[in-house]
Amino acid sequence: MSRFLSPEALGLDPYTPGEQPRDQQYIKLNTNESPFPPSPKVLEALSRAEAEKLCLYSDPTCAALNAAIARRYGLGPENVVSGNGSDEILAFAFRAFCGTGRGAAFADITYGFYEAQAALFGLEARRVPLREDFSLCTDDYMDFPGTVVIANPNAPTGMTVPVDHIRRLLEKDPDRVVVVDEAYVDFGAESCVPLVREYENLLVTQTMSKSRSLAGGRVGFALGSGALIADLNRVKYSFNPYNVNRLSLLAGAAAMEDEGYFRSCCRAVRENRAWTAEALEKRGFTVLPSSANFVFAKSDRIPGGELYRGLKAGGVLVRWFDKDRIRDFVRITIGSREQMEALMKGIDSLTAKT
């Protein structure tokens, strides 16, 4: 680092993304990407003629993309804001709804981006411990006066919070915002989107990286009341008005409109998740109940770090978090059946040595 780095930046603990190796061909089960290519309609939308328009700025209002999202969820365009992945939308929310005297609360074991963003913006952060079984109890957030951020399903556990519990949280204090991060909701969890029509203090964020196979396109969005969305746009236009590039606008709209392909991919992931969980349990693993496109599992025969390193050496990447309470677990993205079978062969090879 340079001698010009500010003390505030020096104190940051940046979020660590999953490995994206370029030096070897791996089976990547570490970053919750889709094993399927984007919708054929996405490929049709990304024509040479559209690529030639990259000399022009993208639409700062994201009008066509927002309209496609609004149609899909039965809302108005004024209820939608799009961003460069849901990470950017979450950053907008931290900046818009938190500040002096109004911090953020989130689980102690959850998506690490929340912690990083709270630190980046100098916010007071309350880390609320998950229960012993890794469940998130909304009762633990009822009296927090600031913004509450809940990943549902949670990452890295894959576990869910019942929507009626979030409803009670919304009703307990209408003067605070509740952000529900639904990055993985399409793989089997109940969405809070229908509550957007009822509660002006609810913001739901989603992404097209997982269920719509656009991780490299970086398309995320939020759904909320017109007033909340206007707040996010105020932050967006103060930071990066042209935040979604021209090709991602086209890809996102096309992906959102191909309902059949979307449902087919989600169904395949759910089927492969069930197969994987059963295969792991047969091998003595503890597997947490997951409604996401990954499972969180541990073995009594091999520590999590050793399993991660051994699988990596064999060409299979999974995610390991060297943190208290979850050090024995690995997070395994659900890929194709062939990929999951290769994972099991790798696990069998390692456990045969123990």
Over the stretch 262-296, which tens digit does the pLDDT of each residue have? 999 999 999 999 999 999 999 999 999 999 999 99
Here the CATH number for the domain that contains residue 125 is 3.40.640.10
Q: Is the residue at 1 inside a domain?
A: no
In this prediction, residues 99-124 reach a mean pLDDT of: 95
Split into its structural domains, the chain has a count of 2
The residues, any chain, with a CB within 8 Å of residue 209's CB and separated by 6 or more, are: 32, 33, 34, 85, 86, 183, 215, 217, 218, 219, 220
In this prediction, residues 124-128 reach a mean pLDDT of: 96
Q: How far apart are CA 62 and CA 246, in angstroms?
A: 9
Closest CA to 334 of 305, 297, 294, 299: 294
Q: Are residues 303 and 330 in the same domain?
A: yes
Tell me what pLDDT residue 258 has.
98
- Binned at pLDDT 50, 70 and 90, residue 21 comes out as confident
pLDDT tens digits along 25-60? 889 999 999 999 999 999 999 999 999 999 999 999
Token pair, residue 102, equals: 């109004």
Q: Are residues 275 and 290 in the same domain?
A: yes
Tell me what pLDDT residue 90 has.
98
In this prediction, residues 196-201 reach a mean pLDDT of: 97
Q: Are residues 295 and 317 in the same domain?
A: yes
Q: How far apart are CA 293 and CA 155, in angstroms?
A: 10
The residues, any chain, with a CB within 8 Å of residue 221's CB and separated by 6 or more, are: 65, 66, 69, 80, 81, 82, 83, 86, 89, 205, 206, 207, 208
pLDDT tens digits along 178-190? 999 999 999 999 9
Q: How far apart are CA 257 and CA 216, in angstroms?
A: 19
Q: How far apart are CA 352 and CA 347, in angstroms?
A: 8
- Binned at pLDDT 50, 70 and 90, residue 353 comes out as confident
pTM for this predicted structure = 0.95
Q: Which of 258, 282, 304 is at the close of a domain?
A: 258
Q: Which of 229, 258, 287 is at the close of a domain?
A: 258
Tell me what pLDDT residue 23 has.
66
- Binned at pLDDT 50, 70 and 90, residue 24 comes out as low
Single-letter amino acid, residue 48: R
Question: Do 3 and 15 contact (CB within 8 A), yes or no?
Answer: no
Q: Is the residue at 339 inside a domain?
A: yes
Q: How far apart are CA 220 and CA 205, in angstroms?
A: 7
Q: Is the residue at 175 inside a domain?
A: yes
Q: Is the residue at 69 inside a domain?
A: yes
Q: Are residues 181 and 171 in the same domain?
A: yes
**Residue 14 pLDDT > 90, yes or no?**
no
Element (H, E) at 221: strand 220-224
Element (H, E) at 76: none
Beta bridge partners of 181: 151, 205
In this prediction, residues 217-225 reach a mean pLDDT of: 98
Q: Report the sign of the C-alpha dihedral through residues 64, 69, 72, 77, in that order.
A: negative
Q: Is the residue at 271 inside a domain?
A: yes
Q: Are residues 149 and 293 in the same domain?
A: no
More confident call, 56 vs 20: 56
DSSP summary character for residue 75:
-
**Domain containing residue 286:** 7-37+260-351
Element (H, E) at 10: helix 7-10
Q: Are residues 232 and 346 in the same domain?
A: no
Q: Is the residue at 49 inside a domain?
A: yes
Q: Which of 198, 228, 258 is at the close of a domain?
A: 258
Q: Are residues 30 and 54 in the same domain?
A: no
Tell me what pLDDT residue 7 has.
83
Q: What angle do CA 111, 147, 91 make, to 5 degrees?
A: 55
Q: Are residues 52 and 27 in the same domain?
A: no
Closest CA to 82 of 263, 236, 254, 247: 236
Mean pLDDT, the chain, rounded, equals 95
Q: How far apart are CA 210 and CA 16, in angstroms?
A: 19
Question: Do 185 and 206 contact (CB within 8 A), yes or no?
Answer: yes
The residues, any chain, with a CB within 8 Å of residue 350's CB and separated by 6 or more, are: 302, 306, 307, 310, 311, 314
Q: Cα–chain-centroid distance for residue 25?
A: 25
- Looking up tokens 């935040």, which residue turns up? 243
pLDDT tens digits along 306-345? 999 999 999 999 999 999 999 999 999 999 999 999 999 9
Q: CA of 75: how far to CAs of 85, 109, 133, in Å?
A: 20, 32, 36
Q: Are residues 68 and 150 in the same domain?
A: yes
Here the CATH number for the domain that contains residue 267 is 3.90.1150.10
